[in-house]
Structure 1
Amino acid sequence: MYRLVIVDDEEKILDGISELFPWNNIGFKVVARFTDAIGALAYVEKNAVDVVMTDISMPVMNGIDLTKELMRFPKIKVVLFSSYKDYEYMRAAIHFGISDYLLKPIRYDELIACFEKIKIKLDEVNQVIHDEPQTYYKEIIKRVNKYLSNNYQKASLEGAAEIVGLSPNYLSKIYKEKSGYGFLEKLNKIRMEKACELLMDPSYKSYEIAFYVGYDNPKNFSRAFKTYFNISPMEYRNGQGKEKK
């Protein structure tokens, strides 16, 4: 885990960023948080830190001044955030070589993308070797697919979203982008594949299979199956669907 320090003089925002975002899932641990830049700088001077994420507008010492002080620690990555899209702030940030500049309110996807890029850079510096690279998004897709495979009868977008700690709308968006399937499209695929497996077992009645794969109404199951494979469940059972599956 890479060590992260977060700084913001607004305690509610500080708590939200520190506690509500799943840092552990993307390889970071919040080791300290401060409502003032002076306290954060004192901590950095005595402790190993990989990333400092700081607000810009703060009393006594602002985020730009803190970033200037952190230049003494070239290995530390700095992320600035602010409520204002101020050109002077951005120019100063670029001058001091920060890793990213985020605007409040910080969007979930932008924060993930920012720290994924930082993790890649830190991994390169620390020569971290991955047998199979696992990003935050890949882990989300993996967990959702496992949920679908184990709960296809009653699976729902809301249920999957609760498991991975995301909103249903955001999960739907990133699942489509990262897996190439819509959530319902993937669920339907799993259900149809399971139905094919059960249809090959003559001990199962058609209505039993319909219920087993998540359909209360056998007619709805039959209609969905025919839409997916272009043949009916009975035609598939009789051997006409082997080449179509």
Structure 2
Amino acid sequence: MYELLIVDDEASSRDILASCFPWDEQGFHVCGQKDSGQEALDYLKDHSVHVILTDISMPGMDGIELAKSVSELEGARPMVVFLSAYDNFKYAQNAIRYGVRYYVLKPTNFSELKEIFGTIRHELDAKYNVSSDDTQDYSTDEIIQKVLSYLSQNYREGSLSSLAESLYLNPSYLSQLIKQKTSKTFSDLLGEARMKQAALFLKDPDTKIYNISNMIGYVNPNNFARAFKAYWGVTPTEYRSHEK
């Protein structure tokens, strides 16, 4: 299931959108309803959202401003779909400017929603290499396993932003989830992955220690040596001698 956030200052409109359309049949789960752009933006800090269906005309931060803010987010960004009672060319121009390609007119039409979100579903499936009948919905434990798997393969140049993008998660949310589930930061886990890989490389006596430093992502061999000793309690040279 892909996560859908509905944003509209009219509670009745939000409720109708959330409850009167078979979102689950289209592969979407309504993860929340917000009455302003700012509330939606705050929600994105701690939650994973794939699509935002937002009214344009709202008090405070309107849909245009929300789309602009979303377009400036780092890492994976949710798609934005505009919802409006007005077929206004100015809105269409702003939509294009901020990467919004879908525009739904009020009152919403069942067949129009089905067509638009069917297209969006196919785009998301293609983006994440998911078959249309097997959309992935990871549990938090599965996400952590994917984090560890990513680090074991990307210890040299791994980054939170690239990992979050591969999982289609907000980097801030992913960072908090990692901390909550492991009591460690992403940087802690990346450091551990590097030290474990360095220990494996040290078992080969022909591989120079300064090369190992570079192989696991350290530019400065001295920084590598300090980090290695802090983790293993011995220097790389001492560790290698113990392995003989």
Matching residue of 1:123 = 125
Q: What is the deviation of 1:88?
A: 0.7
Matching residue of 1:75 = 77
Match of 2:103 among 97, 101, 104: 101
Q: What is the deviation of 1:57?
A: 0.2
What aligned pairs does 1:9-158 form with structure 2 within 5 A after superposition? 9-71=9-71, 72=73, 74-130=76-132
* TM-score under structure 2 length normalisation: 0.52
1:166-194 deviation digits (Å, cap 9, x = unpaired): xxxxxxxxxxxxxxxxxxxxxxxxxxxxx
Q: What is the deviation of 1:45?
A: 1.7
Distance 2:63 2:77 in 1: 18
1:66-108 deviation digits (Å, cap 9, x = unpaired): 0000111553111001011111111000111113001111111
Cα contact 1:4–1:31 (8 A) shared by 2:
yes
Percent of aligned positions that are identical: 38
Distance 2:66 2:132 in 1: 33
1:188-228 deviation digits (Å, cap 9, x = unpaired): xxxxxxxxxxxxxxxxxxxxxxxxxxxxxxxxxxxxxxxxx
Distance 2:2 2:111 in 1: 20
Cα contact 2:8–2:34 (8 A) shared by 1:
yes
Equivalent residue of 1:46, what SS? coil
Would you identify which runs of 4 or more consecutive aligned residues in structure 1 move more than 6 Å?
A: none
Cα contact 2:125–2:132 (8 A) shared by 1:
no
Matching residue of 1:216 = none
Go from structure 1 to structure 2 and tell me whether the alpha carbon gap of 1:126 and 1:48 turns closer, same or farther (over 3 Å shift): same
Q: What is the deviation of 1:130?
A: 4.8
Distance 1:132 1:85 in 2: 36
Equivalent residue of 1:98, what SS? coil
Cα contact 1:99–1:118 (8 A) shared by 2:
no
* TM-score under structure 1 length normalisation: 0.52
Go from structure 1 to structure 2 and tell me whether the alpha carbon gap of 1:57 and 1:128 turns closer, same or farther (over 3 Å shift): same
Go from structure 1 to structure 2 and tell me whether the alpha carbon gap of 1:131 and 1:25 turns closer, same or farther (over 3 Å shift): closer
Go from structure 1 to structure 2 and tell me whether the alpha carbon gap of 1:125 and 1:132 turns closer, same or farther (over 3 Å shift): closer
Letter aligned with residue 23 of structure 1: W
Matching residue of 2:5 = 5
Letter aligned with residue 9 of structure 1: D
Distance 1:7 1:99 in 2: 17
Q: Note the aligned Cα RMSD (angstroms).
A: 1.8
Gap runs ≥5 in structure 1: 134-245
| Number of residues of Structure 1 aligned to a counterpart in Structure 2 | 133
Q: What is the deviation of 1:46?
A: 1.5
Distance 1:23 1:76 in 2: 17
* Larger Cα-atom Rg: 1
1:111-150 deviation digits (Å, cap 9, x = unpaired): 00000000001001110135899xxxxxxxxxxxxxxxxx
